Chain A
């Protein structure tokens, strides 16, 4: 029986399967799709023209399914053009436990994302307002939090505190990174404790939850925003659905742990569609800063 908390990143495949089943899409429909021109919606199965989808911020025009997008897209979407300056991009993971296949996984993820770890941090402007921003990338070992992610979040918190500018974190993570053992768990304490310093200086922190944000990241900084915003349909929670199902041996209710479920249970402030994300962040910052 898996009873764990530091839930790791393996829900990705499960989640996709879950969504498809829910919408009754049969895998028989698989047709070869020429790469680069057409994209099939993971949720409703609609074949979509890539350029159109791109224009729609990777949200299915038919069913509103929010495709998972890279850290680059979020930076483009949220920040004023050309204002992003990366910080701590030189921090890289170390396989200090000599953990099975970890160096291979790091190497592959680096290639896939162009990042040295699962988060990019830096400063930028939103509608002219200075912010510190961090964006996680699920493609880097499931967005898992090891020493580098924890350290970069901590440093972003300290920069926000020093400069007295708001902090924005876009989350996408399966939790703490198993391959760095107990030190991954300690990143929860590192980040959550540092957030006290930000609160002391009355610097706002907005947490944006994307699909998925679970376990160690959800149980630390992702949950602790002054405002907690979720994209529609994101898987949010502590334990993964598979673990819960194995433990309680019951069917999970439909929509369990999705953004809409979390909103209903009072765990997040609002659900915001991608196209309204920047506008919402700006409005919130203006409220918090009384600007």
Chain B
């Protein structure tokens, strides 16, 4: 593992010790099986303890983990025949968003998603997964192209937010997001959204309107980043952990509020510990929901989708 979070450390240290013991046992033909077994049990117990009691801030850190799988990682695991499309036909191609087509069980899906970079160079190229308007417009263009051929949409959400910059404002960041939300609501094909990492506010919602919204266990989804919230509330971003608690931005929180439909459990230690298993679970969930949604007529899909969002919110009538 390239990067270890503070609360991952005790686990990683124990795992290292087990590896050492195993190596020693092999090299010196020493009988260490009992000790290895004891430590393995210990590490499982510790992992359970830590991951069952994660604070919201710890989940934020997991959602942003540098080793966390990104959209293209999932695409390559779940689908075949991936073809990426580029450009919004208006201004540019935005590498912070990927869009294209791929197959799952012989059927073609439109796929859109935020894309973060792994290395420093890639991170810069992908603008840390923060799209410009052209990224959103590309995604919508490909979703509409796919809909022309009746292709359902899978959208992977993982962004700190839409990019706040001069060019983004000049080219209508707000308008691009607004239009995407409006147009996704009436796209005449099933849309399944999977929040895999960070659901950064409007920048996430701009490709996040769907019939079904799934969320990985340690993903987050929020109206504002904990840092942004903290700097408004306490005038200091260092109170982000408190803000994360206040914002209730974890998958269980969102399930309770009726914003998402299902939580996809992550492997022990988080998605980055086992990409294959995580992807397998996402695939299973997509197939399950798609088999139901594909039987629904486009008119009914759209009506239900607008109704679903129409019901969200808590208020009182006095």
Q: A residues engaging B (CB < 8 A)? A: 1-8, 10, 90-94, 96-97, 99-100, 116, 146-148, 150-151, 154, 176-178, 180-190, 192-197, 214-216, 218-224, 237-240, 243-244, 247-248, 250, 252-253, 256-257, 265-267
Contacts and interface: CB of A to CB of B under 8 A. Distances in A.
A184 B233 contact: no
A267 B274 CA distance: 45
27 contacts: A3-B161, A3-B200, A4-B200, A5-B177, A6-B201, A90-B318, A92-B316, A92-B318, A97-B247, A146-B313, A147-B312, A178-B224, A184-B223, A188-B181, A189-B185, A190-B310, A196-B185, A218-B178, A219-B173, A219-B174, A219-B206, A223-B174, A237-B173, A238-B173, A252-B166, A265-B170, A267-B175
Interface string B223-249: 111011101110001000000001111
Contacts of A184: 223
Contact of A6 (B181, B209, B224, B237): B224
B317 A90 contact: yes
A221 B309 CA distance: 14
A148 B174 CA distance: 22
Interface of B: 130, 160-166, 168-175, 177-179, 181-182, 185-186, 200-203, 205-206, 209, 221-225, 227-229, 231-233, 237, 246-249, 253-254, 257, 259, 305-306, 309-310, 312-318
Given A4-B228, A178-B223, A186-B205, 18 more contacts: A3-B130, A3-B164, A6-B201, A6-B202, A96-B314, A97-B248, A100-B233, A181-B222, A183-B314, A185-B222, A185-B223, A190-B310, A192-B182, A238-B169, A252-B166, A265-B170, A265-B172, A266-B172
B246 A182 contact: no
Given A3-B160, A4-B224, A180 B314 contact: yes
B231 A193 contact: no
Contacts of B246: 97, 99-100
A289 B135 CA distance: 35
A192 B178 contact: yes
A244 B174 contact: no
A250 B167 CA distance: 13
Contacts of B248: 97, 181-182
Most buried by A among B161, B202, B206, B317: B202
A220 B178 contact: yes
A181 B312 CA distance: 12
Given A6-B201, A116-B318, A238 B174 contact: yes
B200 A5 contact: yes
Most buried by B among A154, A182, A190: A182
Nearest to B168: A238
Given A238-B164, A252-B166, A256-B169, A2 B227 contact: yes
Contact of A182 (B168, B254, B317): B254
A100 B248 CA distance: 13
A199 to B, nearest CB: 9
B224 A247 contact: no
B318 A5 contact: no
B169 A239 contact: yes
